[in-house]
Amino acid sequence: MPKLKTHKGIKKRVKVTAGGKLKREKAFGGHLMSGKSGKRCRHLRKKAFITGPKAKVYKYLLGGNF
């Protein structure tokens, strides 16, 4: 069987940690921040982890060896 190509869209949006977890940016933090509370803006700055079945699919799309 031929090798799978890496999904470039996932590769640009998700980073794999040393432990094999998937880390992503939170949505809605790019612009129009004046209408959002300070607490919400602070929380949007932090990274989020992808877990569950979706993480399994993303790992497969990234090449799978984690």
Q: pLDDT by residue (tens digit) across 2-54?
A: 888 999 999 999 999 999 999 999 999 999 999 999 999 999 999 999 999 99
Specify the pLDDT at position 24: 97
Distance CA 36, CA 20 (A): 33
For residue 48, what are the β-bridge partners? 24
Distance CA 30, CA 41 (A): 10
Residue-range domain boundaries for the chain: 8-62
pTM of the model: 0.81
Specify the pLDDT at position 64: 77
Specify the pLDDT at position 51: 95
Specify the pLDDT at position 25: 97
User: CATH fold of 8-62, please?
Assistant: Factor Xa Inhibitor (4.10.410)
